[in-house]
Chains A and B, each alone.
Chain A
Amino acid sequence: MSDSEIAVRAVGLVRDFGDVRAVDGINLEIRPGEIYGFLGPNGAGKSTVVRMLTTLLAPTRGQAWVRGMNVVERPGDVRLAIGVALQEAGLDARMTGREVLVTQGRLFGLSGAEIRRRISELSNIIDIGAIDRLVGTYSGGMARRLDLAAALMHNPKVLFLDEPTTGLDPSGRMRVWEEVRRLNRDMGMTLFLTTQYLEEADSLADRVGIINVGRLVAEGAPSALKRSIGTDVVSAHVDGDTDAACDALRDIEGVSAVDRFDQEIRVSTANGSAVLSPVALALDRVGVTVTELALRTPTLDDVFLDVTGTRLDAHPERASS
């Protein structure tokens, strides 16, 4: 595929802030019409990558292109092709929703008639009844949806959404998910979506890139990533000597991997039902108390644990990445 046929491409993207390396050699290749989920904990470097791909931040090293246009050499052209909703809704509290959208449309060269049409078309996202109210009176969810509508005013080819559902209630989250699917299905829009929610990446993304400490540690379709660590997972929460328990579990026939996270032991296997009893017996033999034992299919969190040695939801820092 040539550069112009790739929606987003990054090669060796590095970004330093002083002595801190926030992004460390990211390579990406996202096809047109793809929903790409960028999954990682807070502080992993997701937002920094987005800011570089959307022309707000220059890479320290490496290069990136959007639809074949270099983000540093042709930022103006890149901006015409992309829509962006950053992590914090970038809105002016002293403007009305309509003024935000009109200003956005005018700056993208849309005529008055085009702006009116787009506002009407975007009414499924925004709360049309509140469109003439000041943004400062909006709830968090309303502001996020207005921000998304502003990003869509000019019908971008590639849409970057930086944690679009963080802070939304479940119904607001579902509305955003549905809109993301619809934009991709009906418009063929390419979406680059960062998230810290496993289910969001799993549910929406055609492919997922897992980022940790500035590095891309795994990439692939969610189903393929989950398959890579086994068909089934036996999860046991235990009290007692987990090291001895892990050693005992590794000896069981059919077990492909044993991982431990605090008091949870995770056994990856191709046949969960066949190893469930041996696992229970082995744990009993080493004298640990089993508080919970479950057989389930792997999740992206298991993938994250597998590649980083830590759980995605174990990262305490909630600051912007």
Chain B
Amino acid sequence: MQLLVQQIVDGLAAGAIYAALALALVLIFGATRIVNFGQSEMATFCAFLAWQLCEWGMPVALALSVSAVLAFVLGAAVFQLVVRPVSRASAETVVVVTLGLFLAFQALCLWLWGSDQRTFPALFPAGGWTVAGVRLTANNLGVMGVLCALALSLAALFRFSRLGLGLRAAAADADKSTIVGIRVEAMLMLGWGLASVVGFIAAVLVAPRLFLSPIMMAPVLVYALAAATLGGWTSAIGAVVGGLVIGVAESVGATFLPFIGSELRLLIPLALTLAVLLLRPQGLFGQQTAVRV
């Protein structure tokens, strides 16, 4: 029982990271109906930028802020240069382009910083508490706190601000939004920039847990894709819930299912994805879109 609770707590912390990246994916899907396979590697690139700034002697907080701004610029630039020209093309085309982003950014990190693993500065103190035999580390709590703050601020932005309204309108109907004076292009660019920042936050949360390396985020991407699918691609709440569910399922499954063990961990998100797609294709919180033919 104690082991189970411990696995759930650890799973929630890992799930918070998957949820953060899934939020980024869902943001982009909401704005442009594109699944960005390159999200994780763009995030890794920005995390490397932050690390580099720290190495050059910048205080950690400042380095993270500067990198977040750079991440925003990167996301907007990628949209403008690479994604916008193909945004009306078929799904296959767009998938190929974002896979190209995945490869290009991974190779770029490898090229600039090599394949060595680097120690990323810890964001949270090392200590922790033991409650009823279950270990709660400050890092795990911190990660979950960041996820909550991130989800709430995004929700507030979309629900209550004028900018959020514009973002939602541009995503829902580009033509009508243009008529009422919303600058759709700018909104989509903003959406990609925001998503890039959210992805960067996910990478910064991962980096101290593992080590910083060019392939650090690739497995996280698989989990995040599963989380977004589980929650429903059209729902931000779904991404958060999906991420947490996947995290817990992975952690509990790897411990208690002898066949899975630690080697086949990746099978869990894959199986969950497949099950959701076959049973409830729109996801737990997603809306089914009906098309008139």
Decide if A and B are genuine partners: no
Name B's A-contacting residues (CB within 8 A).
Answer: none
Name A's B-contacting residues (CB within 8 A).
Answer: none
